Amino acid sequence: MFLTYLLRELSNRRKQTVVIAAGMALAIALVIVVSGVAAGVRNAQSSVLESVYGVGTDVTITQTAEPGADGGGPGQQFAFGSGDGTTTDDGSTEVAQSTLSAARGTATFASSALATVEGVDGVSAATATLSLENSSFSGTLPDFSQGAGGAGTDGTTGDGTGTDTDTDGTNDTDGTDGTDSGTQPAPPTGGADGAGGSAFDVDQFSVTGLDPSAAAVGPLTSASLVDGRTLAADDAGTDVVVLDQTWATSAELAVGDTLTIGGTDFTVVGIVASTSSDAATASDAYVPLDTAQALSGLTDQISDVYVTAASASGVDALKTDVQAALPDATVSTQSDLASSVSGSLTTASDLIGKLGTWLSVIVLAAAFLIAILFTVSGVGRRTREFGTLKAIGWSNARITRQVAGESLVQGLVGGVVGVAAGLVGLLVVNLVAPTLSAAATTTAAGPGGPGAAADAGGAAAAGGGGFGQQVAAATTDVVLHAPVTISVVLLAVGLAVVGGLLAGAVGGWRASRLRPAEALRSVA
């Protein structure tokens, strides 16, 4: 009787059933889409963070750069002596220099901090890295020996000090304007364009020195090997390098090639890529830590410590303990790091987190309200019916059960339709696959100091910073994939059940409060 009565009532009141179910479906679909997109954004943030900090890193330790500290100077300088470079047949001089230094805005600290961290309770694994920046300068200088003095009328090598009769009244050294009646020097010859010009290439890429024996934690834990091999324990002290695939492609380097880092030739032994489909790894090149320290002159210095906590629940306590052990260090948890992700990914996250969530809540509340109002209105229209049923002996509980059952089915119908609509919505999101840009800023400049950032794409980004300025890194594009999880579907169905039961409870309560005599009297 319960089911028969329920189904007959719902089919007889199709309009009400459709309105309630449609409202519920809209709300459920919205919840699914928002939840799916939010999960996608979270995954994107995680992949960005993992590409920078590696998998399994719970806490990172850095030190804020002090003004004038390494990397905080006015910029890289290249110094050449008079005998440097290679002179070619046309008199041009080719010069090249490669230096390895701490990345701008990166403060280094004593590697003994690693041992301190490893001694803190709750540390499962820890490893140290040194973030460096390789800068290379190469170019061709013209032959200045030809222009040391112009061919003056005195028949001697001009020194440029002769009387200048040119029209602008300035001292002319190029000998092309006016008539140099004195000892005007000759112009340089050769050079990049063969006519006395010069051309220079300046290139930078990021280099991370890491402990080749640390496999459990560190920036390479989120990378997968594409070609060759990764660093091994016996690589310590050797000149081998593993490259990020994206950077290696742009630099046209492959396993077996040679790459000059800090003036030393390194053999490329492997190519790695981020496990995230669209993000690059944390650095362009990875070399053994001790090699990096030696080449950069930062002996026994490190820039980052990556820590894995013994238990996920103990991360906050671990942060406190590490901070106590290293008072001058900046200790960050994953949640702290998440706030360092910037770009349109963050905008999307904010949008989903605030607007999406509130929109879902509002629509859900509206759907619940519609369901409740329609149910109460339906109870009002069925006063005679419920009065009669009470007169023939139906208990309040049975009437409440009947009303609640009808509302529950209406909610479930809406839930099923909403789940289907929500899945279609997520399918559309995944087909469109919007691309979001993201950058994970790893270092904030101190007061008055310049800042630098290591971006998720691995491209070095540097710039001068003002007071307290954070320098944005070059962005990484992350394609948004909104996952469908069974938990979200269950959540949606659960909300539909809750909505139906809520409306049924209110409607049933109204029905149960009807006094049979008054109900019959009111419709007599």
Partner 1 sequence: MTGASPEPTGTDLRATVLPAPAGLTDPTTASGGTPPMYTLTAVTKTYSQGKKTVTALDGIDLEIPAGQMVAIQGPTGGGKSTLLQVLGALDRPTSGTVRLGDSDLSAAGDRALAAVRARDVGFVFQGFNLIPTLTAAENVETAFADDSVPRPERRTRAKEALASVGLAERAGHLPGELSGGQQQRVAIARALVKEPTVLLADEPTGSLDEATRDEIMDLLEGVWRDRGLTLVIVTHDSAVARRAERRLRIAGGKVAELLPTS
Minimum Å gap between C-beta 8 and partner 1 is 4
Binding residues for partner 1, rule CB under 8 A, total 27
Among 3, 79, 312, 392, binds partner 1 (CB under 8 A): 392
Which stretch, 26-34, 149-157, 227-235, 383-391, contacts partner 1 (CB under 8 A)?
Answer: 383-391
> Minimum CB separation from partner 1 for residue 523, in Å?
8
Q: How far is the CB of 515 from partner 1 (least distance, A)?
A: 7
**What's the min distance (Å) between Cβ of 12 and partner 1?**
5
Give the 3-state secondary structure of 271-325: EEEECCCCCCCCCCEEEEHHHHHHHHCCCCEECEEEEEECCHHHHHHHHHHHHHH
Q: Is residue 171 close enough to count as binding partner 1 by CB under 8 A?
A: no
The answer to whether 381 contacts partner 1 (rule: CB under 8 A) is: no
| In the complex, least distance from residue 16 CB atom to partner 1, rounded to whole angstroms | 13
**CA distance from start to end of the chain:** 27
Give CA–CA dist 30/36, Å, rounded: 10
Q: Rounded CA gap, 506 and 523, in Å?
A: 22
Among candidates 153, 157, 155, which has minimal Cα distance to 165? 153
- Interaction between residue 383 and partner 1 (CB under 8 A): no
Torsion of CA 34, 37, 43, 46, to 10 degrees: -70
Q: Which is nearer to partner 1, 267 or 396 (CB)?
A: 396
- The least distance separating partner 1 from the CB of residue 19, rounded to whole angstroms, comes to 18
Cα–chain center distance at 502: 41
Q: Is 511 in the site for partner 1 (CB under 8 A)?
A: no
Q: Tell me: does residue 516 bind partner 1 (CB under 8 A).
A: yes
- Interface with partner 1 includes 515 (CB under 8 A)? yes
Stretch that binds partner 1, among 6-14, 100-108, 311-319, 354-362 (CB under 8 A): 6-14
Q: Which of 155, 393, 467, 486 binds partner 1 (CB under 8 A)?
A: 393
Residue number, 391 or 490, with CB nearest to partner 1: 391
Is residue 513 involved in binding partner 1 (CB under 8 A)? no
The answer to whether residue 355 forms part of the interface with partner 1 (CB under 8 A) is no
Paired residues of 164 in beta bridges: 180
**379 binds partner 1 per the rule CB under 8 A:** no
Stretch binding partner 1 (CB under 8 A), from 1-9, 108-116, 406-414, 451-459: 1-9
CB within 8 Å of 89: residues ≥ 6 apart = none
Per-residue CA distances from 64 to 49, 230, 428 (Å): 20, 30, 44
Q: How far apart are CA 434 and CA 480, in angstroms?
A: 6
Q: Angle at Cα 90 formed by Cα 84 and Cα 94, nearest 5°?
A: 30
Distances (CA, A) of 65 to 40, 103, 133, 192, 282: 34, 11, 15, 39, 20
391 binds partner 1 per the rule CB under 8 A: yes
524 binds partner 1 (CB under 8 A): yes
Q: How far apart are CA 447 and CA 384, in angstroms?
A: 78
5 binds partner 1 (CB under 8 A): yes
Q: Would you count residue 4 as binding partner 1 (CB under 8 A)?
A: yes
Q: What's the rounded Cα separation, in Å, for the pair 12 and 27?
A: 25
Question: Containing H/E element for 48?
Answer: helix 14-53
Interface residues toward partner 1, by CB under 8 A: 1, 4-5, 8-9, 11-12, 384-385, 387-396, 398, 515-517, 520-521, 523-524
